[in-house]
Each structure stands twice: as structure tokens, then as C-alpha cells.
Amino acid sequence: MNKKTSMVVASALLASSLLSACSSGDKSGQAAGGTAGASGGKPTDISIMTMYYTPEPPGPDNVIIKEVEKRTNSKLKITWVSPNNYADKINVTLASGDIPDLILLDDPFSAQVRGMVSQGAFWDLTPLLKDYPNLMQYPKESWENTKQADGKNYGIPRPRPTDGGGFPYIRKDWLDKLNLQVPKTTDDLYNVMKAFAEKDPGGKGTIGYVGFVDQNGMSYFGQMQNSFTKTNGDWKLVDGKLVNVNLLPEMKDCLVWLNRAYKEKLIPEDLAVLKNTQAKDLLKSNRGGGFQDTVEAAWEPTEELRKTDPKADFLPLVSLNGYSNKDSGFFGMYAIPKSVPEAKVKQLLKFMDYGASQEGSDLASFGLKDVHYTEKDGIKTPTEQAKKDIVAQQAFGQIFLKYDPYQRAYRTGMPQDVLERNKKIIDEKAKISIGDPSVGLNSDTNVKVGTELKKKIQDMKTKVIMGKEPISAWDDYVAKLKADPDFIKITAEMNDAYQKRMSAKK
């Protein structure tokens, strides 16, 4: 699952389902809020550790925190941590044993978390969840993919859409200018890239498709690779068993395709060192024909280009080779330590259930209507006051969030026609998308040696793509991988974990 956070401060929803944060018409929100914080009685003390993506975290007197406390009859103590330091903070906090009531585990399957789960450090929420209707609105993938090895849920997923994640998008206006069709296969895309580079519709020396790799993987050529292997990740289910994608003949096909594109200068010559910001600069300067990102992210370069060219248009592709990626449906989960009494566990679940309602989610992400946002045609637009009060999805919206399948359809400033097109693209993707069958599966050997092994595999891929090694070198390397004891052990352990998961579902 791509963990990049889209810096979005507005979300588009169907006008008929939109209710202001102050609305009294959200019955699910009222039920959850009313139960979580029934009038009268002492407020429930709730400690939370989570991350924030705003320039500064909200303070304890933040207007949204105070409003949430009021509506849920709670007293919140929130530890906000920068995503840059979150992994270290998690390790220290879990090791200390002094764990807050709700702790965001950004990696629910780290060795530390797995070990603590097996030792009974967190509440098994599985038998309780059915009583919280808003949480049950999360997609089944969110719950299935956050289950631990025993098939149980030890946390509340931080939900993310399963469709609309990173995938190629392409200059639609250039396709129209050159009388080309929207590519449906990687061969089609290659021909489009070649036409872009040769005919230079941007007039500045067009790069057919902008992508890059890093030392850990295929990075922004990742979805190109997946379009060949037809799976989202490093493992593919073949005849009921997990096979590492690097052993598939389709991987070689992908490397041949990219090597040819590199030789013909259809992709960046500096793909091994290119950074994300540099790649986006190429798009915004009218030089790039395509890129990989989430559906709504295609609006970023489009918006910039339309300042000088009103027809500029990056179109997110539905699929290539009949493949579209399905994401895991979560970005971390909120766990409750066993030190919390059972009665309070239910109060915490009611609190999070309110956050998964329309009212709770709107309040967290957008604040108060006509104070922190205005609304027109079903689209919420943040005000300057929202910035001053740190009201955003990147703040309290990291704790409270209603599942929205179209979360990746909208960005601030996007016109209605682009929004509606993006929704249709997401709907089409959902019909065919394929996920990663290995999400949440564990291999102890992979924990020990997987990082270095992955770097070695990517090093060979990069050399082949750039022509520093012949394609035959990849064949030789695959043969060595098949005989590598660690690789064999990782494969066996992954398949054992997969079979245990399938048995737990029966």
C-alpha cells in the first residue's frame, strides 16, 4: 500500500449526503455521539497518540478538539507526532509499556506489534465491532487486511479508499492533438510515449513518460511493473500459492519494455536519481507526457498548466493490460492496550464510531460550516479561519474519518467536470482492480534479510533498464534467486502464513 499522504484539505461528496458539522440531521452521528457522550455524567478521559501533517499540530484548546469533547462528553489528551519521527516514537512508546488508550500503529505488522499481539498486549476487538454501525461501513478490505495471524482484529483501521490509488495518468489534450486513442495496454502506452517524444506537442523537448526508481524498489515505475505482473506488490497468487513476482516471465517483459523506452529516450535518463519534486516539475513545465500518482493528484500539474493553457489535461487511466490496482483499504490502525478496562474499551469504540459518522468526520476534517468552510454544489472549500484554527484532514481528520470511496477523486480548486470524471474512473477501476494477496503476511526471514535482498534485486533491475547489464543478466540473476536459501525460506514462510490466514477464515 502506497503510504504517501495526499495533502488534501477538502473532500468531495455527493450533495445529497453532505451535512454540515452543526447539522442535527445525521442520525448515525447523533446515535454514536449521544451514546459516546450521553448528557450528564463525568467526561471520559481519552488519551490518543497519532500523527499530523499540518505545519503545526492542534493545541489542547483547539476549537475542533473542544467541540469533539463537547459532543462526545470526553476529555482528550492527544500526543501529536510528526510522520518524520513517528516510527521511532511508536517503538519507544510500545517498549515503555505506557501506552495511550488509542494508539495509531502506522505499521500493524511490524515485528514489535506482532510480538505484542501474540503476548496479549492489545484488545481483541473482533467480537465487539458488530455493535458499531459506522465503523462497519468501512470496506471489508480494511478489516480483512488489518487482521493479525490468528485472523482477529486488534485495531480500528484508519480507512483509505481501495480504488483510485497510484496509477499512470497521461496528457489527454496531447492525445487529442495527435489523434491518438487513450492507451489500454502497455504496448499502446509505448506507442503514445514514442509519439509524444517524437512529435513534441509541448514544444520543449517532451519526455514520453516521467518515472523513476530508487534503491528499494521500482518506486514511480511500480504501477508499470504491476501492469505486467497483474498484481499489486511483490507476490502473486498462482494456483493457490504465492509466487514472488521477480520469478515471473512478465517481470522480464517489463524490464525489456523499460530498457527499450530508456534507449529511445522516452523516459528520463536520470531515472535512478530523479526525485519526486523534480519529476513533478517536468510535468508542470509542459515536458512530461505521463506520470504515476493517485487519481486526484493528476489535478496538481493540470491546474498549474491551465494557468497558461486552458486545454491542458492529465487523464488518470482506468487500466493497462486489463489491470488496475486495489489498495489495502487502510493506513495503519488504532489499537487499544489491554491495560484499558473492558467498560472503557466500549466507550472508546463508541467514540471512534462517532468519528466514522458523517457528522463526526465532517467536524474533524472541515470544522464548522460558514466558519471553517463554505459549501457549494456539494463541495466544501476551507476558509482562512480553517488554516488559523488548524482544521484539516491532516489534523483531527487523522483520528476521525468516515469512509469515502471517492476520497481520491477531489482536490481543492478542481472543477466539477473533472470531479465527476474522476468518480467515474474510480467506479470503473473498482470493477476490475486487483489487490496485494500478501498484505499482513509475515516472514521472519524476510524481516532479517529482506531489505538487503530487495536492494540487490532492484540494483539488478536498474542496471538492466539503463543498459548497464544485458537482459540475459536478469535471467542469470533469477536463476540464482531460485536457488538462494534465504529467498526459498522467505517464500515458504509467506506461503505458510497465507495458508494459516485462509484456514482462519474457514
Co-location of 216 and 298 in the same domain: yes
pTM, to two decimals: 0.83
Give the amino acid at 458.
Answer: Q
Q: At 398, which CATH number?
A: 3.40.190.10
State which of 339, 372, 405 marks the end of a domain. 405
Q: How far is Cα 482 from Cα 76, in angstroms, rounded to an integer?
A: 53
Does 147 map to a domain? yes
Give yes or no for a contact between 223 and 166, defined as CB atoms under 8 angstroms apart.
yes
**Same domain as 320, residue 458:** yes
Do 193 and 155 fall into the same domain? no
Question: Do 173 and 145 reside in the same domain of the chain?
Answer: no
Residue 302 and residue 204 share a domain: yes
33 lies in the same domain as 144: yes
One domain, residues 95 and 213: no
Residues 364 and 318 in one domain: no
What is the DSSP annotation of 475-500?
HHHHHHHHH-HHHHHHHHHHHHHHHH
Distance CA 231, CA 146 (A): 19
**CA gap 58, 80 in Å, rounded:** 8
In terms of DSSP H, where are the helices of 237-378? 249-263, 276-284, 299-305, 342-355, 358-366
In a domain, 12, yes or no: no
CB atoms within 10 A of CB 215: 12
Split into its structural domains, the chain has a count of 2
Q: Each residue of 292-331: b (16+ CB within 10 Å) or e?
A: bbbbbbbbbbbbbbeeeeeebbbbbbbbbbebbbbbbbbb
Beta strands 102-105 and 44-51 are: parallel
Q: Are residues 299 and 179 in the same domain?
A: yes
Instruction: State the DSSP H helix or E strand holding residue 388, giving kind and residue range, or none if neither.
Output: helix 384-388
Residue 110 lies in a domain: yes
Same-domain pairing of 319 and 468: yes
Same domain, yes or no: 60 and 157: yes
Domain of 363 in residue numbering reads as 27-163+329-405
> What are the pLDDT tens digits along the chain (506 aa)?
443 333 333 333 322 232 223 333 333 333 344 444 445 689 999 999 999 999 999 999 999 999 999 999 999 999 999 998 999 999 999 999 999 999 999 999 988 999 999 999 999 999 999 999 999 999 999 999 999 988 899 999 999 999 999 999 999 999 999 999 999 999 999 999 999 999 999 999 999 999 999 999 999 999 999 999 999 999 999 999 999 999 999 999 999 999 999 999 999 999 999 999 999 999 999 999 999 999 999 999 999 999 999 999 999 999 999 999 999 999 999 999 999 999 999 999 999 999 999 999 999 999 999 999 998 877 788 899 999 999 988 999 999 999 999 999 998 778 999 999 999 999 999 999 999 999 989 899 998 999 999 999 999 999 999 999 999 999 999 999 999 999 999 999 999 999 988 887 77
